[in-house]
Amino acid sequence: MTVHVRFAPSPTGRLHVGNARAAVLNWLFARRHGGRFLFRLDDTDTERSTGEFAQAIAEDLRWLGLDWDGHFRQSDRLDVYHAAAERLKASGRLYPCYETPEELELRRKLQLARRLPPVYDRAALKLSDDDRAKLEAEGRKPHWRFKLDQTAVHWHDLIRGEVTVDAASLSDPVLLRADGRVLYTMSSVVDDGDTAITHVIRGEDHVTNTGVQIQLFQALGRPVPQFAHFSLFTDAAGAGLSKRLGALSLAEMRADGIEPMALNAFLARLGSADPIELCHSLAELVPGFDLGRFGKAPAHFDPAELEHLNARLVHHLRFDEVAGRLPDGADEAFWLAVRGNLAHVREAAEWWQVVAGPVAPLVDGEAEYLAAASAVLPPGPWDGETWKAWTEAVKAATGRKGKGLFLPLRRALTARDHGPEMKDLLPLIGESRARARLRGEKA
């Protein structure tokens, strides 16, 4: 059996960490099992779905490095869903209802007041043909509900183990709106069936949907896929992440300088028993990926931890991984000199400025000392040993040592108190700029 999974976002917004996680986990599962990963746009909600969001989601997936083996959108398949709806109507599993939203709301309130569960009472099932004809003559158009089997639905969840959803405690879900719009439950099951999805991997917020959808697969005569529901992200305080979604969008993270592989490594393991490991490619995450290592406990998403992982990754990125994002002229020697000081690749530009100039040196009353130091600068060409040779000569010439020896040199040459190793920076700064800065000139 070939594994088929899908990532099925609704293009009603940008990707955030929550749905990016579904993408990463499904992709890894597909690659781990030599399967296919489909990218489906659940865009039957025509009011909220946009082409711009669809494109932005595709861009975000590409930024993560996820590729897909098939791509389609539900809005191209409406006739298929309607055909399936007709089959359900014919078998008596889809029935017309005429209540207005206000009527339903009133009933709900009455049920709650009587301490009854606010479940649809199936009043529409009791309508006679005459009743329906009368309602339609009044201009009412039906919406259509799926008649649930009022039994408990069980499945073996690949993450949560044995799960039961009691369909008897649920409202019959609406699958078709009065205006003909198809709802997610319907389109999702039809597509999962038509694309032979073998595993549905999604957040635990879909557990109840799964109970309903299993019945719908059966009603449509489709094999029921396996399910895995991962626990949702919470913040450090245990609250859901939804309120801060803006800050947790991939677009924002990208703008903040988060590396895609830092995020991938994070999303691939958070909520599992495996530690998060530094890696340079998605391929490295594939062999160790195991849904069975994920658990029911909520997964804490800590942006500070992601930042920390990101910095560690940046410290290890090779030149070829960042070359396109460095300032013109920045070479490998420069990258290797500065990467250990960066939390984000873009900060390399600040150090490029330090190296290539112009920089206004910090001289602060040390002009004489700096002139003495300049006088013993070794002749070029400079390399990684030059700084040591030079500072030893400065020490011998001036009698200074420790901070009093090194800091004024660093401040004059880089205009900063801290930074990458001076032995690496000095050859990059080069003799003419170094001499000028030691004279207190901007160079």
Residue 427: alpha-carbon gap to chain centroid: 40
Which residue, 42 or 259, has its beta carbon nearer to ligand GLU?
Answer: 42
With residue 297 as reference, give the H or E element that holds it. none
CA dihedral 213, 218, 223, 229 (to 10 degrees): 20
58: its two tokens? 């595709």
| Rounded Cα gap, residues 78 and 86, in angstroms | 12
CB of 249 to ligand GLU, least distance (A): 15
Q: How many residues does the chain have?
A: 443
Under 8 Å between Cβ of 345 and 314: yes
- Closer to ligand GLU by Cβ: residue 73 or 107: 73
Nearer to ligand GLU, 8 or 261 (CB): 8
Query: Could you tell me the two tokens for 122?
Result: 């199936």
CB of 433 to ligand GLU, least distance (A): 54
Strands 94-97, 143-146: pairing is antiparallel
Shortest Å, Cβ 192 to ligand GLU? 8
Sign of the torsion angle spanned by Cα atoms 151, 152, 154, 159: positive
Q: Which helix (H) or strand (E) holds 84?
A: helix 78-90
For residue 278, what are its two tokens?
Answer: 């530094």
Q: Which residues, including other chains, have CB under 8 Å from residue 141's CB and lie 6 or more apart? A: 178, 179
When the beta carbons of 18 and 419 are compared against ligand GLU, the nearer one is: 18
Closer residue to ligand GLU, CB minimum distance, 42 or 172:
42
Which CB, 184 or 319, lies closer to ligand GLU? 184
Residue owning tokens 């030893």: 392
Strands annotated E in 320-393 = none
191 or 366: CB nearest ligand GLU: 191
CB–CB of 222/228 below 8 Å?
no
CB of 230 to ligand GLU, least distance (A): 11
Tell me how far apart the alpha carbons of residues 399 and 379 are, in angstroms, rounded to a whole number.
22
Q: Which is nearer to ligand GLU, 8 or 426 (CB)?
A: 8
Q: How buried is residue 132: exposed, middle or buried, by Cβ count under 10 Å (0-12/13-18/19+)?
A: middle
Q: For tokens 């001076």, what's the residue?
A: 422
Rounded to a whole number of angstroms, the minimum distance from the CB of residue 76 to ligand GLU is 16
Of residues 188 and 310, the one with the C-beta less far from ligand GLU: 188
Residue facing ligand GLU at closest CB distance: 42
In the bound complex, what is the minimum distance in angstroms from residue 7's beta carbon to ligand GLU?
8
- Give the type of residue at 409: L
Residue 381 preceded by cis peptide, ω within 30: yes
Q: What is the smallest separation between the CB atom of 206 and ligand GLU, expressed in angstroms? A: 6
Q: What residues make contact with ligand GLU under the rule CB under 6 A?
A: 8-10, 42, 184, 188, 202, 206
Closest CA to 212 of 224, 202, 201: 224
Closest approach, Cβ 201 to ligand GLU, in A, equals 8
Nearer to ligand GLU, 72 or 184 (CB): 184
269 Cβ contact partners less than 8 Å away, ≥ 6 residues apart: 275, 276, 277
Q: What is the DSSP string of 120-158?
A: ---GGGG--HHHHHHHHHTT---EEEE---SSEEEEEET
Minimum distance, C-beta of residue 292 to ligand GLU, in the bound complex (Å): 20
Q: Of 42 and 366, which has the nearer Cβ to ligand GLU?
A: 42
What is the nearest approach in angstroms of ligand GLU to the Cβ of residue 242? 13
Min separation Cβ 15 and ligand GLU, Å: 10
CA gap 9, 3 in Å, rounded: 20
Other beta carbons within 10 Å of 16: 22
Minimum distance between the CB of residue 43 and ligand GLU, rounded to whole angstroms?
9
| Residue among 188 and 215 whose Cβ is closer to ligand GLU | 188
